[in-house]
Structure 1
Amino acid sequence: MRRFALSFTAVAAVLAVAACSEPAQQSGGASGAGSTGMTQARPPAPGVMSEADRLAQMQREFQTSVGDRVFFATDSIQLSGDAKATLDRQAAFLARYPQVMLRIEGHADERGTREYNLALGDRRAQSAKEYLMARGVSGGRLSTTTYGKERPEAIGSGEQAWAQNRRAISVIAQ
């Protein structure tokens, strides 16, 4: 009798584990005991990217192959030859991906008042936007914002740090 009870317990345990491994139990489907009736999000199928992953990959391509930032001289909104070349690559990228929208963020170095640098960052972002529009990018796909000196790329008080902080950065804003 004792052997029968032990065997019965072992078989019951195996059946309980097997019942929990049914797909309906794992996905929260309607069948099976303990179902909540709510469906759980399933990961994308192999080879299928989520929207967030697709945008992250596109931003990486944009940063590495195209270039996401242009730099400015002190107190200037004038685009250098290098800046125009980067913006030309951005315009070509946007022509290749017509659904992509960009947010252009204007920045300044630490010198000057907060108000002055916010205005300068705004003019830098506008300068980049106007150049892209002149290259055929619809203004409806471009937005601008300014951070002034509030988000420095490089910390420090010297020309090397200041030069890195005088910039406009284009970010994919889908």
Structure 2
Amino acid sequence: MYKKHQLYATLLLTSVLAACSTSFGSSSKHIEHHYAFGRPATSIASVAPVEVKPQRGQSGPENVAHIVYFDFDSYTVRPVDRGIVESHAQWLRSHPGQSLMLQGHTDVRGGSEYNLALGQKRAESVRKSLQILGVDSSKVEAVSYGKERLADPGTSEAAHQRNRRVEFEYR
């Protein structure tokens, strides 16, 4: 009887591991993800333009956006947003007493667990970029809210683009 249960447990574990090795919405096309300033990921769909407005009255660098956006199913910092990350890195290096929370977000597509993981990867990607640019990693925390705190509740591609983001919150 024990061997029978052990066999079932082994089969179950093998099935779970096989399921974990496939990607969400898997297809025969493999998409590579890169941290920090690696090769830009190819976008599956055209990306809606997002107007990034400088944040005034917030802690952190002035006249610099406090949000970076991401392509669908990607956690690679887009080339257009690298200047924002670099400006925050420069400001943090000149203000060593300041700390930062990076809040990762996703759009509503996909399951809650998947989106929490993707939001965390986005926040960690920005954190790693800041670290590469000389920011003390102990001063930066990365958290994920997944799809729980939408910036735009709409269902258009433009709304989805506004939700795929990492926000900089200085403490």
TMscore range, shorter length: 0.5 to 0.7
**TM-score when scaled to structure 1?**
0.64
1:169 corresponds in structure 2 to 167
Instruction: Report if aligned partners of 1:109, 1:166 keep a CA contact under 8 Å in 2.
Output: yes
RMSD (Å) for aligned C-alpha atoms: 1.8
Map 1:14-163 → 2, pairs under 5 A: 60=58, 62=60, 64-163=62-161
How far 1:110 moved relative to its partner? 0.4
Q: Which has a greater percent of helix? A: 1
* Structure 1 residues 76 and 135, CA gap change in structure 2 (3 angstroms): same
Q: Distance in 1 between matches of 2:142 and 2:113?
A: 17
1:38 corresponds in structure 2 to none
> Structure 2: 5+ residue runs without aligned partners?
1-54
Letter in 2 for 1:99: G
Partner SS for 2:63:
helix
Instruction: Return the structure number with greater relative CO, CA threshold 8 A, min gap 6.
Output: 2
Give percent identity, aligned residues only. 33
Q: Deviations over 1:67-111 (max 9, x none)?
A: 211000000011111221100000011122111100000000000
Q: Distance in 2 between matches of 1:81 and 1:59?
A: 26
Q: Deviations over 1:5-61 (max 9, x none)?
A: xxxxxxxxxxxxxxxxxxxxxxxxxxxxxxxxxxxxxxxxxxxxxxxxxxxx98625
Partner SS for 1:74:
coil
**TM-score when scaled to structure 2?**
0.65
* Structure 1 residues 59 and 65, CA gap change in structure 2 (3 angstroms): same
Q: Distance in 1 between matches of 2:87 and 2:94?
A: 11
Letter in 2 for 1:115: E
1:24 corresponds in structure 2 to none
Higher-Rg structure is 1
Letter in 2 for 1:110: V
Q: Which runs of 4+ in 1 moved over 6 A?
A: none
Instruction: Report if aligned partners of 1:59, 1:172 keep a CA contact under 8 Å in 2.
Output: no
